[in-house]
Amino acid sequence: MQLTISDVFKRFGSIEALRGVNFDAEPGEFFALLGPSGAGKTTLLRIIAGIEQADRGRVLLDGRDVADIPVRARDTAMVFQTFALYPHLSTFENLAYPLREARIGSNEVKKRVGEIAEMLRLSHALSRKPGTLSGGEQQRCAIGRALIRRPRLLLLDEPLTNLDAKLRHDTRAEFKRLHRELRDTTIIYATPDQLEALSMGRRIGVLREGRIVQIGAPQRLYTEPLDEFVASLVGDPPINLIAATLADVGGNRTLQLPFVDIDAAPWEATLSQYPSGARFMVGVRPQAIAPAADAGEAAPGPEFPARVFLTEPLGDVTILNIVAGADQRLKMVLPQERAYGIAKDASFDCTLRNDEICLFAQETGMAIRRNWASPTT
Amino acid sequence: MSKNRTHVIGKSGWRRTLGAAVVSAIYFFPVYYILMTAFKTRPDALAMPIKFLFTPTMDNFYSVFVRADIQGGGGTDSGFSHYFFNSLFIGGTSVTLALIMGTAAAYGFSRFPLRGNDTYLFIILTTRMLPPIIAIIPIFVLFRVFGLSGSYTGIIALYTAFNLPFSIWMAKSFFDDLDRDIEDAARMDGSSEWRVFRKICLPQVYGGLAATFVFAVILTWNEFLFALMLTGTETRTVPVAIARTIGGQVGVDWGLMSAIETLFIIPVVLVTFVLQNQLLRGVTFGTIRK
Ligand SMILES: Nc1ncnc2c1ncn2[C@@H]1O[C@H](COP(=O)(O)OP(=O)(O)OP(=O)(O)O)[C@@H](O)[C@H]1O
Ligand SMILES: [Mg+2]
């Protein structure tokens, strides 16, 4: 189903939950809505579902205004953040409810509930009430109830938050598989977790305080965030943001970080409008910092001395918290085998991979384009 | 949910259980005393100190329904079977009516609030703030004017009105506690507003409504003042009939009184027993994750 959101506003008393949201989702698209708590994700999904009224703006399903389509004909299902299972009905009846309301015969109901329970590994719990299910089972029951009608638009509101790490991983894969199977079902997936958004969304819309600040493919958000907010939301561990000043060093425009200078040439097309002394924030991904010894000849960036003050081994990689220069704290990531033997207070030289650095104007937080940046998102 | 329940009820230590038993025994003693007296002969009932061992007799129960003739011979119907019927019929009908109307009103107040919703609710409650002894005067006049005195319609209408505020307030609090997302989910699943109420909201508050039903039944069942003033021989309820028995010619017949009371307690015990699972649910209301 083709979904169009145009200029949607919603306020609750003095709180502006949504302030002009626009986006489209193509039929069959997996669209992730990424935003921190309170950004307005739930409000937006409820408006798309038609259970909340927008103050202004329109929601179109296949070109028709939701308000004009009766609930039954909308072909929209939602997994609520709170699951919203029917507490007085068994798991079976919870799954069957949408079918019963659609007056589907009981043999067909039995068959389809059986199938979906099988798929979501709920067969053992069909006779039990939701109150006796584990968090994960409740979540799967909620997902099953949404899927059973084979909706053409599926709204998922943080559907994985209640699962443990492993189940979350499995279910993420399950969603991707499901999405492949339900070919023309459009999925809108709201989450505050960048990993979920990046790993599942074909496109991601980043929601901040009721506005969409950037829409793009995962890779695009990662490498070319439009502002500091997106940059720090996407990527794990979060990007390092470092204050910098634009300066003229012997005729070369240079960005002076507290611990190193970097060449401003890659941004010169835009930076030319800024005078020397202008202040910026430089974003460096933890993955873009490496020990100088490893850099080899290829693209060596500027080097600087660093001292380790904390290590966080995660199994496959280790996060090093380092102090660069006098007192600039940074995070960097090393593969486990490379980090082996590096302990607190170890000192070594590091380099920045120049082509992975993002630049933001300090006042506005907006990204400064690289010379070669592609024109639009 | 169920895990908690067995724990709370079954697994406390011996000392606590014993303590609870002692307290319950103290509470239960008056009831036990009545039960005992109901099976005693007149001399046994009056014996001091209290006789705990005695030969039980059913005579008192017999005389509840049949009044012995002083001249001897058969005896006449005391009318008590009719009074029991009255109490059951009047109480049951009015509480059921009040609960149905109260639930509907409460759902309205909860889901489709009016301007000044709270004011309406407060006004509804004020009708219960008057002591019945004061309210009885205008009501008595009203009943006289409309010819309702001594009729079933009158007393049932009065008891319904009497139970309505309580039912509305209780039911509203149950509806207010429900998770609104669940209703929205049902709407998305294709339910009409009526089915949202009937299939989703109502079943979730059954427990609470059952508790409300029991409380209202007990209140109505025991109500004396209105019944005394507003019922006639045809519609007389048990509490009024008991009062009339006390003033017998031969002093208070404790055995007879206790037998009546024993019979009088039975329906309440039965209702509570039948609804006990619902009652438990009513008390542990709202245990599903919000
Ligand atoms: N019914 C309501 N009444 C008043 N304020 C509301 C209501 N619903 C949402 N809000 C407010 O609107 C803003 C957006 O809320 P929303 O639930 O959409 O956020 P969210 O992105 O889903 O957050 P979370 O990740 O915590 O679920 C919040 O500031 C919230 O307090
Ligand atoms: Mg939310």
Give the structural domain span for B183.
Answer: 80-283
Contact B165, B120 (CB under 8 A): no
pLDDT in tens, A63-86: 999 888 887 788 899 999 989 999
Residues B73 and B53 in one domain: yes
Residues B68 and B84 in one domain: no
Helix orientation angle between B254-274 and B276-283, rounded to the nearest 10 degrees: 70
Residues B30 and B110 in one domain: no
Does B241 map to a domain? yes
CA distance A332 to A330: 7
Does B272 map to a domain? yes
Probe target for ligand 1 pocket from A9, A12, A46, A80, with the most ligand atoms within 8 Å of CB: A12
* Of the candidates A8, A89, A341, the residue with the CA atom closest to the CA atom of residue B186: A89
Please report the pLDDT score of residue B248 as a whole number. Answer: 59
**Bridge partners for A207 per DSSP:** A212
Burial (Cβ within 10 Å: 0-12, 13-18, ≥19) of residue A297: exposed
Residue B258: CATH number of its domain? 1.10.3720.10
Backbone angles phi, psi at A255, to 5 degrees: -100, 120
CA distance A144 to B33: 58
Please report the pLDDT score of residue B281 as a whole number. Answer: 64
Q: B190 and A80 in contact by Cβ < 8 A?
A: no
Instruction: Please provide the DSSP assignment of A41-52 as one string.
Output: HHHHHHHHHTSS
User: Is B287 touching A (CB cutoff 8 A)?
Assistant: yes
Q: Which residue among A77, A82, A131 places its CB closest to the CB of B188?
A: A77
Residue of the nearest CA to atom 12 in ligand 1?
A17
Residue A370 has pLDDT above 90, yes or no: no
**Bridge partners for B27 per DSSP:** none
Please report the pLDDT score of residue B282 as a whole number. Answer: 58
Does B288 map to a domain? no
| Interface ipTM | 0.82
Please report the pLDDT score of residue B2 as a whole number. Answer: 42
Domain edge (last residue) among B13, B44, B77: B77
Does B90 map to a domain? yes
Using an 8 Å CB-CB cutoff, list residues of chain A that contact chain B.
Answer: 46, 49-51, 71-72, 76-78, 80-89, 97-98, 101-102, 130-132, 138, 145, 149
CA distance A121 to A114: 10
CA distance B180 to B186: 10
Which residues does chain B have within 8 Å of residue A84's beta carbon, measured at their own beta carbons?
A: 179, 181-182, 184-185
Band of pLDDT at residue A298, cut at 50, 70 and 90: low
Residues contacting A349, CB < 8 A, separation 6+: A291, A292, A293, A303, A304, A305, A306
Residue A164 or residue A41, greater confidence: A41
Residues B158 and B50 in one domain: no
Probe target for ligand 1 pocket from A9, A16, A37, A43, with the most ligand atoms within 8 Å of CB: A43
**Average pLDDT for residues A334-355, to the nearest whole number?**
84
Domain edge (last residue) among B77, B94, B125: B77
Helix H or strand E segment including A93: helix A91-101
How many angstroms does the Cα of residue A34 sit away from the middle of ligand 2?
A: 11
Q: B190 and A87 in contact by Cβ < 8 A?
A: no
**Bridge partners for A308 per DSSP:** A322
Q: How far is A136 from chain B (nearest CA, A)?
A: 13
Does B24 map to a domain? yes
pLDDT by 10s per residue, chain B, length 290: 344 444 444 566 888 889 999 999 999 999 998 999 899 888 887 877 877 888 888 888 888 888 765 565 566 777 888 999 999 999 999 999 999 999 999 999 999 998 999 999 999 988 888 888 888 889 999 999 998 888 899 999 999 999 999 999 999 999 999 999 999 999 999 999 999 999 999 999 988 898 899 889 888 988 888 888 888 888 889 888 888 877 656 677 888 888 988 999 898 888 888 888 777 665 555 444 33
Contact A366, A208 (CB under 8 A): no
Q: Which residue in chain A has the smallest CA separation from B205?
A: A88
pLDDT in tens, A305-332: 899 989 998 888 999 999 988 888 999 9
Contact A212, A22 (CB under 8 A): yes
From the alpha carbon of A41, which atom of ligand 1 is closest? 21
Which ligand is nearest to the Cα of residue A210, counting in written order?
1
Residues B100 and B244 in one domain: yes
Q: B207 vs A33, A99, A119, B174, B280, CA distance in Å? A: 40, 27, 34, 9, 7
Split into its structural domains, chain B has a count of 2
Residues contacting A136, CB < 8 A, separation 6+: A162, A163, A164, A167
Q: How far is A52 from chain B (nearest CA, A)?
A: 9
Which tokens sit at A312? 């966080």
Please report the pLDDT score of residue A294 as a whole number. Answer: 76
Residues B68 and B101 in one domain: no
Rg (C-alpha) for chain B, rounded Å, is 23
CB atoms within 10 A of CB B153: 11
Please report the pLDDT score of residue A236 as a whole number. Answer: 86
User: Is B225 touching A (CB cutoff 8 A)?
Assistant: no
Q: How many CB pairs under 8 A join A and B?
A: 65
Q: A98 and B190 in contact by Cβ < 8 A?
A: yes
From the alpha carbon of A10, which atom of ligand 1 is closest? 12
CA distance B269 to A97: 37
Contact A358, A283 (CB under 8 A): yes
Q: Tell me, what DSSP letter sits at residue A346?
A: -
Q: A101 and B189 in contact by Cβ < 8 A?
A: yes
Residues B119 and B49 in one domain: no
**pTM listed for this prediction:** 0.82
Which domains does chain A show, CATH number per domain?
A: 3-225 (3.40.50.300), 240-361 (2.40.50.140)
From the alpha carbon of A81, which atom of ligand 1 is closest? 27
Maximum C-alpha span of chain B: 77
CA distance A364 to A371: 20
**Residues less than 5 Å from ion ligand 2, measured at CB:** A 42, 81
Q: Which residue among B181, B182, B288 places its CB closest to the CB of A131?
A: B288
Residues whose beta carbon lies within 6 Å of some atom of ligand 1? A 12, 15, 17, 35, 37-43, 81, 192
- What residues of chain B, 195 to 224, have a C-beta less than 8 Å from chain A? 195, 200, 203-204, 206
Does B170 map to a domain? yes
pLDDT in tens, B101-158: 999 999 999 999 989 999 999 999 888 888 888 888 899 999 999 988 888 999 999 9
Residues B188 and B218 in one domain: yes
Domain edge (last residue) among B35, B58, B77: B77
Band of pLDDT at residue A299, cut at 50, 70 and 90: low
Average pLDDT, chain A: 89
Residues B30 and B135 in one domain: no
Which ligand is nearest to the Cα of residue A35, counting in written order?
1
Residues in chain A: 377
pLDDT in tens, A80-136: 998 999 999 999 999 999 999 999 999 999 999 999 999 888 999 999 999 999 888
CB atoms within 10 A of CB A279: 12
Contact A351, A289 (CB under 8 A): yes
Please report the pLDDT score of residue B286 as a whole number. Answer: 46
Residue A179 has pLDDT above 50, yes or no: yes
Q: Which residue in chain A has the smallest CA separation from B207?
A: A88
Residues B174 and B56 in one domain: no
Per-position b or e across B251-288, b if 16+ CB within 10 A of its CB:
eebbbbbbbbbbbbeebeeebeeebeebbebbeebeeb
Please report the pLDDT score of residue B74 as a whole number. Answer: 62
Residues B72 and B118 in one domain: no
Helix H or strand E segment including A190: strand A186-191
Residues B172 and B33 in one domain: no
Residues contacting B257, CB < 8 A, separation 6+: B37, B242, B245, B246
Q: Where are the alpha helices (DSSP H) in chain B?
A: 2-10, 14-38, 42-46, 59-65, 80-111, 117-126, 132-146, 152-177, 180-188, 193-195, 202-222, 225-230, 238-246, 254-274, 276-283
